[in-house]
Structure 1
Amino acid sequence: MTASENPTAPTSAELVVEGATLDGRIVDVVVREGRIAALGPGVGTDIAAVERIVARGGLLTPAFTEPHSHPDKALSRRLIAPLGLPARLTDRPALMQRQRDLKATFTREEVAGRAGDFLRLAAAQGIATVAGQADIDSVTGLTSFEGVMDAREKHLDLLDLRVTAFPQEGLVQDPGAYDLVAAALASGAHRVGGWPNNERSYEDQISHLDQVFALAERFGVGIDINIDYFTDPTERLLEPLAERTLAHGMQGLVNANHVGALETYPDDDARRVIAKVAEAQIAVTVCPTNLSGSYPYRGVSRAAELLAAGVTVAIGTGNLQDNWEPFGNLDPLDLARLAWHAFPLSDEDDEGIETAWRLITEHAARAVGVPHDELRTGGPADFVVLAATTKTDALRNEPGPRWSVRGGRVVASRVGTMWTAPAPEPVRSS
């Protein structure tokens, strides 16, 4: 029913989305006071709106979630040359040292500026929630964390940044990091991170894990941990992580990033570990771009097997134009397309497209620990409008325009063109 057919219905709104595709049908969205006041065919007709998006059949989707990133390091690659640091490195220890040299120069203001650029780009790509790790260690102290928190506060109107206190250099070999991470958690960090594989011995790696769980329990937060980073069969900490998650009753509160070593396990070992990960309700976030880089590369884990076991699998950006990765644009659709090839999801036909979409929406939100709301009347007006009319075309045509709506307001958008092959002329019989 249109407003003209119902004289008691409000005739104005903050935002109307006209002619979008949702679940295979064309609908309008009427937004008032930050919520979806009406959703359905023709409900925006005759509504005077402060803002109007003419979707022309473009997809309407819940906002995207970025489940793994490093906003404190993002866009820092441009600092390498001015600092006189070596430009071409493939050796892992040398890359780690260049990262230390880089972050030793970081200031709170400089980090906040780059992280702010990162967050604005994320919003323009349709991302409403970002999980971001901030390095906390004896090199950067709390500088990176404080800069990221400053950027978060400044951009709350655009998106929600969930910050992980991340002891990049270790908790055993960098003993001052424990107290620094605790200080960050006391100052508002949302989760505690870790990288136990970076410690020097297996005993130290287990100690690192135990310290992460101790911090999580002390501050009542979840865990966002980088574990078994590389395709290295000697990295075997995912199973102890699952066992501790169960022992501490933290099912559903742990996200494991990368998990590349799982690819290299014998099949029987992999099945056993995957079953424990599923039982512990650990989310696994992998980065499809990790198929390149330093040797051994970081891989994409056994994503298809994890999904088949009922594990929440998400995909993230990881690094963006920094010491580790020269490229990246924060577009979740790029990641979903890469995942379709790399996992692979191609054997699932159309269902593979749906799975790829869940990796950047529902699954990503679960990995971060935030709600994922389907679009409905009365629900929050947080969504994205794309130019493509199908999910398949959205994955094919990433340059198209995009509108990001948060709290009922268009907070970011991007312009571009879409290319679609013209429909063939009908064949006429002679």
Structure 2
Amino acid sequence: MQWGTPTIFSSLPPPPYVCMYPSASGGLGSLSATTHPTAHAQPDHSNPEIYINLSILEPLTTAQTWVTGLAQRENIIIFEPIGLIMNLTIKNARIPFTSGVWDICIEGGHIANIVSSEVRGGSDVLDARGGIVCPGFVDSHIHLDKAYTANSLDEAGFEGVAEARDTQGITPSLRSLKEAFSEGDVLDRGRRVLTESLKHGTMAHRVFVDVDRIVGLKCFNAALKLKREFNGLMDLQIVAFPQEGLAGNPENVELLYKAAELGADVVGGIPWYENTAEEGERHLDEVFNAAKSFGKDVHIVADDTDDPLSTNVLHVASKCLREGFKDRCAASQCRGALDSPNDAYVNRVIKLAKLAGLSVVENPQTSLMLSGGGSTHPFKRGLTRVLEFAHAGVNVAAGQDDIQDAYYPYGRGSMVEVGFIMIHAARISTARGLQLVYNMITHNGAKIMKLKDYGLENGCQANLLVFEEKSVHEIFRNMARPKHVLRLGVPLLTSTTKTRFHQPHNLAS
């Protein structure tokens, strides 16, 4: 499919935008539309910021007419597909934490060269104008199936989350919410999360979906469809997650194994949710057995509790070594006993995590919201020992975790926002600390997901973000969105923001 030179390189009108992508047969995957126009449909001008899959516009001659008419409207821009692979030079780019301005030469969807002040003939050029260029962001922990359900809960529902964390049981409000889930409902909300996060430059997600006797495999099946639907636009890994526990729940165990058999990328676990430490151990046994049976990695929500006796992360690290899962396991929300002043225990965990190649994922927004909920002042900070783990050489990454659900009623899929909150929660003000947070939402997450050819070096896939900001510090300070998002060197979308003072002379008075 050939649609000519994309308008991304011409002067841009104000937002919002319509973003066009090739069909699945075109090689870049498909992205279902917010609305579903037929071959002879008229543009939906009531909601212009919409993603449209060209494969639903048939025949192509009609599609071209439809696209042309839409492109002529004010305040709308079309990014026209120009084929699977293109050659491109991003000139005047700043690379994070390096000096100078560089040209990034892209050939065949990969970075061919990074040179000072060179523009290769015959390629299209994107001028970064001195802005930061970095690889796409990585969200190491997100629950798509629960996203955008906060409006279905009243205050009792939100209070029920804290209650459930104490009693180790799901509350009636959350149970009824999950019972109402349908595959189509999860699909719609999942699409909303992924399209919104793409605007913020998130190009890889580790997606947690519940598999239990309440929802069965509905959430998992929806995630499989989303993975196929967004193939080529972003990388998705599916974690089969036994949210309601495994001990004494043979049906939940069976569903976990079934999801691993049917295509889950990762087997998840939540041992702290069980009633006793012994049940938590049995929970981990089932998780690792399922992962071993089907050759999967493991991701555990270890100690997402204020209980100072919760030590699951230590058992997870030990089990990684015993079961042959070195460098194949991640643990999120590692608080519990790590939140205590027991330095001997902390040192044991960090040492064992390093030996096991265990990665640690912190989701700062949800952790800050939920930790210390049952206590009076002073509240716990609610963060695992991010700096201690990192300084010891443990791989530490970050995740959004929740978006507008019972656990966190905010969030918008912005890993820059996640990093901004991390900076404050971990009290980071140094250049070294800033680089750590940047790595947590890029390279460290990519290491957990084992993303192929990720980064900003020769040979890496050209899945890149171009910012107007000229430093990583400015990106976090402004909580910025990327100006351009590219997949394999192909421009996917552009955002512009313009502010006009109507009476600027009054501002100086």
TM surpasses 0.5: yes
Distance, in Å, in 2 between the alignment partners of 1:207 and 1:324 is: 26
Of 104, 116, 124, the match for 2:179: 104
> Which residue does 2:349 correspond to in 1?
273
Distance, in Å, in 1 between the alignment partners of 2:454 and 2:242 is: 32
> Which residue does 2:163 correspond to in 1?
93
Change (3 A) 1:91 1:223: closer
> Which residue does 2:488 correspond to in 1?
407
Q: State the SS of the aligned residue for 1:17.
A: strand
Of 309, 312, 315, the match for 1:237: 312
> Which residue does 1:140 correspond to in 2?
215
Distance, in Å, in 1 between the alignment partners of 2:113 and 2:353 is: 41
CA contact (8 A) 2:358 2:394 kept: yes
Q: Are 1:338 and 2:408 an aligned pair? A: no
CA contact (8 A) 1:253 1:369 kept: no
Distance, in Å, in 1 between the alignment partners of 2:400 and 2:247 is: 28
What is the 5 A alignment of 1:335-374? Answer: 335-346=418-429, 349-371=430-452, 373-374=454-455
Q: Are 1:292 and 2:362 an aligned pair? A: no
* 1:334-375 Cα distance to aligned partner (Å, 9 max, x none): 2222222222333xx211211111111111112233346332
Name the amino acid aligned to 1:61. Answer: C
> Which residue does 2:151 correspond to in 1?
78
Q: State the SS of the aligned residue for 1:344.
A: coil
CA contact (8 A) 2:105 2:113 kept: yes
| Number of positions where the alignment pairs a residue of Structure 1 with one of Structure 2 | 401
CA contact (8 A) 1:66 1:317 kept: yes
What is the 5 A alignment of 1:8-407? Answer: 14-22=87-95, 23-44=98-119, 46-49=121-124, 52-80=125-153, 86=156, 88-89=158-159, 92-93=162-163, 96-97=170-171, 98-261=173-336, 262-289=338-365, 290-293=367-370, 295-296=373-374, 299-346=382-429, 349-371=430-452, 373-407=454-488
Distance, in Å, in 2 between the alignment partners of 1:260 and 1:416 is: 39
Q: State the SS of the aligned residue for 1:300.
A: coil
Q: State the SS of the aligned residue for 2:146.
A: coil
Change (3 A) 1:378 1:274: closer
Distance, in Å, in 2 between the alignment partners of 1:402 and 1:108 is: 34
Task: Report the CA distance between 1:36 and its aligned residue.
Answer: 2.5
Change (3 A) 1:418 1:310: farther
Name the amino acid aligned to 1:173. Answer: G
Question: Which segment is superposed worse, 91-100 or 57-66?
Answer: 91-100
* 1:295-336 Cα distance to aligned partner (Å, 9 max, x none): 257821111111122111111111111121111122111222
Question: Which segment is superposed worse, 248-257 or 332-341?
Answer: 332-341
Distance, in Å, in 2 between the alignment partners of 1:374 and 1:68 is: 20
> Which residue does 2:44 correspond to in 1?
none
Structure 1 gap segments, 5+ residues each: 1-11, 420-430
Structure 2 gap segments, 5+ residues each: 1-84, 375-379, 501-509
CA contact (8 A) 1:72 1:134 kept: yes
Relative to the length of structure 2, the TM-score reads 0.74
Q: State the SS of the aligned residue for 1:140.
A: coil
Distance, in Å, in 2 between the alignment partners of 1:358 and 1:156 is: 24
Distance, in Å, in 2 between the alignment partners of 1:248 and 1:48 is: 50
Q: Following TM superposition, where does structure 1 have runs of at least 4 consecutive aligned residues deviating by more than 6 angstroms?
A: none
Task: Report the CA distance between 1:45 and its aligned residue.
Answer: 5.9
CA contact (8 A) 1:233 1:265 kept: no
Change (3 A) 1:143 1:369: same
Percent of pairs with identical residues: 27
Distance, in Å, in 2 between the alignment partners of 1:314 and 1:211 is: 25
Change (3 A) 1:239 1:123: same
Question: Which segment is superposed worse, 22-31 or 205-214?
Answer: 22-31
Distance, in Å, in 1 between the alignment partners of 2:381 and 2:142 is: 15
Name the amino acid aligned to 2:428. Answer: L
Relative to the length of structure 1, the TM-score reads 0.87
